[in-house]
Structure 1
Amino acid sequence: MKIDPAELAQTLFEEAGDALFLFDPEGEQVLDVNPTAQRLTGCSRQDLLKFPITYLFRSEAPHGLQRLRHAFKKTGAFHSQDGFLLRRMHEGSWIPVNLTISRLHSEPRTLGLVTARDMREQRQTLDQLQRAEAELRRVVSIVQCYLYSVTVDPSGRAALHFVSPTVERFTGRPPSFFKAGVEAWLSIVHPADRDQLKSTLRAALAARQTQIDVVYRIVLPDGNVRWVRDSLSACYLPDRSIQIDGVVTDITTSKTAELALQRTTEHLRAIIETTPECVKVIARDGTLLDMNSTGLKIIGAEHREQVLGSTIFNLVAPADLPRIKEFHERVCQGQTAQIQVEARTMQGNRLIVECRGAPLHVPGDPQPLHLCISQDVTERIRAEEALRASEEKYRSLVETTHELIWSVDAEGRWSFINRNGARRFLGCEPEEAIGRPFSEFLPPENRELAAQQFREMPYRNELFNLEAALLRKDGSRVEVLVNSRTLRDSEGKFIGVTGTSMDITGLKRTEAALAAREQNYRLLIERNLAGYFRSNPEGKLLECNEAFARMLGYASREEVLGVTADRFYCDPIERCNLLKLLEAEGSVHNYEGLRRRRDGSLIWVLQNITRLTNEKGEVFYEGTAIDITERKRVEEAIRASEVKYRTLLENLEQCIFLKDRSLRFVAANRPFCRSVGLKENELIGKTDFDLYPADLAAKYRRDDLLVLEQGRRLELEEENMDSDRRRLVRVIKTPLRGGQGEIQGVLCIFWDISEQRAL
């Protein structure tokens, strides 16, 4: 097979993973770029061709651009050079890149080629390595240990040859204190450990052990007690004396933690049992070894014996089995992973679950187990699917939407309500509500406030939104999210308000259920989906899990523990007020706040915090944090979407109207109402024979009936009246279908093409 070199070169240029810039070396003008260059700069090809090549790059070192220009003009070695930056057009930022410059000797002129490789990931890796090295140096500088050397003669007398100066910082006693001999050393050992220590050392030396480790307590001059590990190396000399070299290390922190761990083991187990997440341990072959009570409830099991020992794969839908097995294998190989699959309860009910898996290492077993934390996200997935379906319907036709689309006049009386919205939100037909005050459809306790807000409408911004409640004709209550805008005439006079109302009753119930659930949400195990933290009143983080660190943009919990809580608050006063609330109430639940991540970006979090005291009476705070930024974004997207589509419909220049199957007008936009000289509420219910000459009205009726009977789109040019003047218009008529596909009416769009045809 013969390959076209030109086509091969073009393909390589387009598919290259590096950014490629082809330019004129003489004028430095960019001539062509590949898709990677467009992606890295955030700029289109057309815009990039407007710039000289030197505008796109900057050097981190002096005279860097001079070196670039020299490489442009003369063939030489300029390969894989670091220290250069590529401009991001719309963000005002720069990307570190590695540059290679080539001169392409082609006809009729020599061209230049800059190859730029994105070095951000390498830079981040280098920064992390430098931070790790700095942390290692810091740890080494604060290690608590001291060295000593002792000789024991055959009679058992010990002579101290050396003790490091750090012994004073370690024991509170100078090196000279220990020259008195073994008794001086034994005097600082805790009385309860002294006899056991002497017995252990005698037995080890009698057995001629060369490596001896003993753990005991020492008492400082101020009475404080420290735990130490004494690691001895014994050398048995020919003259029957023994050379002992030792390292004494302060293990107070780890020993205290070990004892605290024993005390908290049962506490942690209780937390796992009460967490609202499914926590389970799985063997490498898929056997379920353990599951908490929440997990049993989610899958519909009455007790552990029903599921322990069985394979976890029985609980997964057959279609997702290959994916869940691959996920399980990755975790058992030591990776962390996340997956969303369809599961089945013991009763066969369908669930959508989100699983996060991590290896669980067991001492003495080289093969890790699988620790899996699962969350039932069925309702969230259903809500997302419902949102997508709702937006698609809203985009198609206003009159078939499930939202309430409405207008009120300057007196606060309904002037327009879509039929589906009236039936669903008000429990009546539009004709029963139009002309009546909108306040009649509000709960009595809200009417006075709503009337006051409406009186302020002429002075408010054009666009606004709020949450409210409507009363249906049968007395039931509907919670709604209102997106609306004020209406003004050509002189700017306030003439009313128009907007849409979305039913959020289900969402309110979901939020209430979520709030009740999150009130008891306390997850203290690592690798959980929620962030756990513990801090003191001064803002020092005492403990947190990996999820908390990731939420705030840190690579690990060790990294975030060195940061004070004030760093995360956008407003320091907010933390002061939160501490006052905790002092007064003892706990806060479902507290939403804006927090700053490590990179400066902001996230919304939902927090539950409790004020506690330890055995010494010291106050500390313990809580959980959940990232709700996505939920906030979805809520904002809903409001923006509804405003956008309503504004689009009202501001189109084309005339648009809807008719029902009786061919009566049920809705129209502003341009059409102007063309017939009527307001929308005056137009509703009329037919073409009420608006046009009989010949035109009959023609329009025949076309409408054709669309209804055939169920197909109709496009044509025909005459139309505009203020008693006949004009030529382009018309598109299409059947209006309901949710089941049934034809409910006719949608028509037309515009004036008289001047176009005159040309």
Structure 2
Amino acid sequence: MSAEAGESPRGAPGPLAVKDQMDDNHRDREEAIEGEPRPRGKADRPPVPEREEGDEWRVMMEMLGDLLFIMDPSGAIVRANPAAAGKLGFSQDELLSMTIFDLYRPDRRSEAEEIYSQIIAGERYVCGIPFQARDGRLIAVETKIIPGRWRGEDVVFSLSRASSAGKALEYDLRLAFEKMKTVLDSVSAYIWSGIVDPAGGFSYIYQSPAVEAITGRRPAYFGQGLDAWFGIIHEDDRERVRERYRSLITGESSAMEDGYRIIHGCGDFRWVRDSVLAHGIGENRVRLDGVVTDISERRRAIEALEMSEGRLRGILSSMGDMVFAFDADSRFIFYHASDVKSLYVIPDQFIGRTHAEIMPPEINALFQPAFERIRQGGESEFEYWLDLAGGRRWFSTKLSAIVRDGNFDGAVAVVRDITTHKAMEETLVMSERRYRELFNTIHDGSTLVDMEGRIIDFNPPFQDLLGYGRDELIGMTVWEITPAEWHSLEREIIATQVIERGYSDVYRKEYRAKDGTVIPVEVQRCLLRDVGGSPDGMWVIVRSLKERSS
């Protein structure tokens, strides 16, 4: 932008646009600047004289200590005196490339435009917004503006005079407070401030509108002071809270935070969290600043969670199993163990870490495929062993998915110590192997039958005696291979001897072979019982008398 004669720029109409006919207030200001009173009549009022930049005008511009600007109607600066450039830290060329509103902080420019428009309209007299220097400093000024003509063009003259820093600070503080109040009024928490006087009286200096939503009462209800607040606190909590406030007022403490119940205006109980700061402000007065938050929903959720956790602890405490929970990345997030000594590592070492980071590779090789299977839905089980301080222990793990909002969110593992079961299993296998060896090596026939006489198992001599194939004998009953005349005798022996004392005397009977041959035999029965002690079957030893007969 150039300041040479005849080249003064003219912007489009803006907030400073000059009307063809100005009101009397504006003309009075022009008269004051030119120093020549004008006639009050409108018809014979002389035209506004144009100001020419002669030596006197230039000298005045340079000597004036105030900040002087000439602007076009859009606010573009077309001339600035040396004081303006010096105090603001901009060069003349920089100022001539700016608008007057560029000299205000960005967040105040719209406000400045509005005030300038009000001054042009005669609604205000001065703008008190500080300028912002090139280095960011705020320069407290009071700015007056007046429309006029310069070099044949409509312009606006702006004169800014330094004001007291205190006044500018007061303006900024007032603006900041209004902004802060707007923010605080939108917060759902009840924010308040008040002062306790030397006599113990209390008066509020601020109460946010949220007080009505939280307490069911208007701010005026608490105008009597703190006693009105204490009055809505549940009687079981009231004295405790009153005592804590007393400590703040007497200086024994400077901060307080407490959760308690209040009686809402509708008659319901509400839980609130009350946080208060206290500090002395002179003349034995204390200022209290507090935030009251409605935590009723949170409290109910906590109580429900505590109840749920209590039930869970009750269930888990009745279980001998260990329980572990994992997040979606297989990190341990929870555990239950009746004895932490039974754990592979202590909880502090595994909570928050992945299964792969804690467990041996060979066990993780079982866990990870199972974890991926349940990620797709369903359950998975596997067994493994660990060498612990007490020796080798066997465990069975059952994994189930945790699903939240339809998405996989982790897994629960129920881990059972099956060491005793494994030992019994091994003992049973060994016992069965020994039984099988004995069963198959004795020379006499031997067969295992249930209580109905159905053949479950037999050794080779028994099969050879009767001539049936193995598949033929399995499932047959002893009654099918015993001639009918022996049935009543044998049933009586089972009832009176085997059931009563667990075994029978050796007795004689006959079997009928597959080829129809009747074979005389000696038989002895031994009763077998299940784990509950009930009869479960009989072991029958059969010795052929065929050779003796012949």
TM band (smaller chain): 0.3 to 0.5
Answer with 1 or 2: which has the greater Rg: 2
Give the TM-score taking structure 1 as reference length.
Answer: 0.25
Under a length normalisation based on structure 2, what TM-score does the superposition of the two structures give?
0.33
The structure, 1 or 2, with the larger RCO (C-alpha pairs under 8 Å, 6+ apart) is 2
